[in-house]
Amino acid sequence: MKTIPRLIEPVFMIVLTGGPCSGKSSSLAYLTEKLSDHGFMVFVIPETATLITNSGIDRRKMDKSNQVINYEEAIFDMQLAFEEIYKSTVTKVFPEKKKIILLDRGVMDIRAFIPEKAFRDILKRKNLSEMELRDRYNGVIHLVTAADGAIEFYTGDNNPARIETPEEAVEIDIKIRESWLGHPHLKVIDNTTDFEGKINRTFSAISSILGMPVPLPIATRFLVKEIQYDRLPAHQTIHIEQIYLRSKGKNEKIHIKKRGQDGTYLYFLTRKAMIEEEELITEQEYRTLERLIDPKTSIIVKERICFFWKNQYFELDIYKGQNQGISILKVEPVETPDGKAEIDIPPFISVSEDITNNPQYNERNMALKKKIICKNPLPEDLTHDRSSSRS
């Protein structure tokens, strides 16, 4: 399959989110400059809540729950309108240019500020699913609040709309992180380095989403021996089917992916040669392409459990079909102040070995029509969502 040159370059939408005083606004100028240096036209959508507050609709003056819910629903509507108008406009005006929209918060942030039922009622009124709303963005970068790990830098001086104490900021930060659980490209940037290191890591995370040739941390993968499901923290479970296609190019790898939750599915096409490119496709395109499956392979089927543990984002893949019994835990190492990589395996998951560089567990090899001998017995029924209540 040849890559067809695009007449219209896509618009990437990247969310910068995080708790209060996490460095989002301070990072935007640096990121705009760096991305412009790499040939992108960069557009910035400011934080909608701050725009509303600065216009006179002040949340601090609201003392009834329905006032706050109406306020957050107004943010919801304005945010979606901004995104659609920006995306449509820059596509029409600059069709041939590489484009990226950086958003100071995304719609899913609203979930952290109102009761769960109120958020689901908003989705119902808008006829939207959680997955459609969450996965509309190409990537989500969560910057951890300075109140968690850099308390001396926590201040409200640069944002008059900030009303939270450090303790409240940490609580909100956790809720926001959990609101984005399950996004296919979610990165967490903590405060283990100074702020310069933090924004450099933010740029690297965005580069990985855009497929730019920038040195990036390699995700570490572990073969799982045992899981204590009753101890899992707040999490989301995603169903994934991945199909490897025939390819004419010797060094080109192509696969399509079906990714779903609660009966809603999105479809992706990924090409990998020198760099990896991923694009959203329609269900009809997916059905057409799946006929081109490489006959030497079977469909990879797995349930992915996504969760946080000590500011680290984990993905636990539990395989079905010919790979039934294999579970793999994936995490990107956290950079410590002395520049070393560190991983803290959750106590409720027991791992047997590091398989990061083991070709036997490369997913392309796992798709080949042959059995992998080493398998770990795990419960078979993981088809339902094990999401726990949010803390």
pLDDT tens digits, one per residue of 266-307: 999 998 876 677 888 899 999 999 999 999 999 999 999 999
The secondary structure element, H or E, covering residue 355 is: none
Same domain, residue pair 165 and 237:
no
Looking at the 3D structure of the chain, how many domains does it have? 2
Which pLDDT band holds residue 371 (cuts at 50, 70, 90)?
low
Q: Check whether residue 228 and residue 121 sit in a common domain.
A: no
Regarding whether 141 and 121 lie in a shared domain, the answer is: yes
In a domain, 49, yes or no: yes
Q: What pTM does this model have?
A: 0.77
What is the pairing mode between strands 11-18 and 139-143? parallel
Residues 206 and 346 in one domain: no
Averaging pLDDT over each range in 35-49, 106-120, 325-339, which range is the top one?
106-120
CATH number at residue 314: 2.40.320.10
Range of the domain at 333: 220-243+293-367
Judgement on whether residues 239 and 356 belong to the same structural domain of the protein: yes
383: pLDDT strictly greater than 60: no
Asked if residue 228 and residue 195 are part of one domain, the reply reads no
- Tell me whether residue 144 is in a domain: yes
pLDDT of residue 131: 92
CATH number at residue 92: 3.40.50.300
Does position 380 have pLDDT exceeding 90, yes or no?
A: no
Do 149 and 34 lie in one domain? The reply is yes
Neighbouring C-beta atoms of residue 109, cutoff 10 Å = 27
- Per residue, what are the HEC states of 39-82? CEEEEEECCHHHHHHHCCCCHHHCCCHHHHHHHHHHHHHHHHHH
Both 181 and 229 in one domain: the answer is: no
Query: What's the rounded Cα separation, in Å, for the pair 166 and 350?
Result: 34
Helices 24-37, 195-210: inter-axial angle, 10-degree rounding:
50
Mean pLDDT (whole number) for 248-277:
86
Q: Is the pLDDT of residue 384 over 60?
A: no
Among 102, 109, 107, 92, smallest CA distance to 13 is for: 102
Query: Final residue of a domain: which of 210, 232, 252?
Result: 210
Q: Would 40 be classed as within a structural domain?
A: yes
Does 278 reside within a domain? no
**Model pLDDT for residues 328-364, shown as the tens digit of each residue:** 999 987 765 565 667 889 999 999 999 999 999 999 9
Residues 225 and 187 reside in one and the same domain: no
Any domain includes 265? no
Give the pair of three-digit tokens for residue 140. Answer: 């989500």
Query: In this structure, which long-range contacts are made by residues 146-153, counting pairs with CB atoms below 8 Å and at least 24 apart in sequence?
Result: 146/21, 146/22, 146/23, 146/191, 147/19, 147/20, 147/21, 147/173, 148/19, 148/173, 148/190, 148/191, 148/311, 149/190, 149/191, 149/192, 149/311, 150/191, 150/195, 153/21, 153/195
Domain annotation covers residue 257: no
Residue 285, domain member (yes or no): no
Identify any residues that bridge with 282 across adjacent strands, giving them in sequence order.
none
Domain boundary among 210, 228, 256: 210
The answer to the question of residue 83 being in a domain is: yes
Q: What is the pLDDT of residue 335?
A: 63
Mark whether 204 and 225 lie in a shared domain: no
Domain shared by 27 and 155, yes or no: yes
pLDDT band at residue 9 using 50, 70 and 90 as cut-offs: confident
Is there a single domain that holds both residue 198 and residue 233?
no
